[in-house]
Amino acid sequence: MAGPPPPPGSEIRPPFRAVFMGTPQLAAHILEQLLIAPDGPVRVAGVVTRPDQPRSRGLKLGASEVAVVAEKYAIPVLKPARIKTAEFLGGLNELEPELLIIAAYGRILPKQVLDAASIMPINVHASLLPRFRGAAPIEGAILAGDDETGVTIMRVTERMDAGPILLQRRIPIAPTDTQGSLKTRLADLGARALLEALALLRRGQLSETLQDENLATYTSPITKQDGVVDWNDDARRIERMVRAYDPWPVARTTLSADEMLIWRAQALEEPVEAATAAPGSIVSVGREPLVKCGVGTLALLEVQAAGRRRMAAADFIRGRRTTIGTRLGI
Taking each helix axis as running N to C, give the angle between helix 179-202 and helix 25-36, from 0 to 180 degrees, rounded to the nearest 10: 40
Report the candidate in 150, 97, 147 with the shortest Cα–Cα distance to residue 122: 97
Q: Report the CATH number at residue 315.
A: 3.10.25.10
CA–CA gap between residue 302 and residue 304 (Å, rounded): 7
Residue 118 lies in a domain: yes
* pLDDT (tens digit per residue) in 34-65: 999 988 899 999 999 999 988 766 668 899 99
Domain boundary among 219, 234, 264: 219
173 in helix, strand or coil? coil
Angle subtended at Cα 199 by Cα 106 and Cα 96, rounded to the nearest 5 degrees: 55
Helix (H) or strand (E) holding 284: strand 282-284
Which H or E element spans position 94?
A: helix 86-94
Average pLDDT, the chain: 94
Kindly state whether residues 191 and 233 are assigned to the same domain.
no
Q: Using alpha carbons only, how large is the chain's radius of gyration in Å? A: 23
Note if the bond before 221 is cis, omega within 30 degrees: no
* Measured distance CA(88)–CA(68) in Å, rounded: 20
Residue 31 and residue 69 in contact, taking contact as beta carbons nearer than 8 Å: yes
The conformation of residue 215, written as its DSSP 8-state character, comes to G
Average pLDDT over residues 88-109: 96
Q: Tell me: do 29 and 162 sit in the same domain.
A: yes
- Indicate whether 107 and 209 sit together in one domain: yes
Residues 210, 235: one domain?
Answer: no
What is the pTM for the complete model shown?
0.93
Q: Confidence band (pLDDT; 50, 70, 90) for 165?
A: very high
Burial 13-34 (b: 16+ CB within 10 A, else e): eebbbbbbbbbbbbbbbbbbbb
- Percentage of the chain modeled with pLDDT above 90: 88
Same domain, 193 and 230: no
Residue 243 sits in the same domain as residue 213: no
Which residues, other chains included, contact 193 with Cβ-Cβ below 8 Å and sequence gap of 6+?
124, 151, 153, 167, 168, 169
pLDDT band at 11 (very low <50, low <70, confident <90, very high): confident
Residues 6+ apart with CB under 8 A from 118: 1, 2, 96, 97, 98
Confidence band, pLDDT 50/70/90 cuts, at residue 6: low
**CATH number of 212's domain:** 3.40.50.170
Q: Give the pLDDT band of residue 2 (cuts 50, 70, 90).
A: very low
Q: Which domain holds residue 196?
A: 16-219
In a domain, 158, yes or no: yes
pLDDT of res. 273: 66
Which residue from 128, 123, 190 is spatially nearest to 159, judged by alpha carbons? 123
Query: Is 252 within 8 Å of 328 (Cβ atoms)?
Result: no
In a domain, 6, yes or no: no
Q: Are 199 and 39 in contact (CB under 8 A)?
A: no
Number of domains in the chain: 2
Tens-digit pLDDT profile for residues 205-246: 999 999 999 999 999 999 999 999 999 999 999 999 999 999
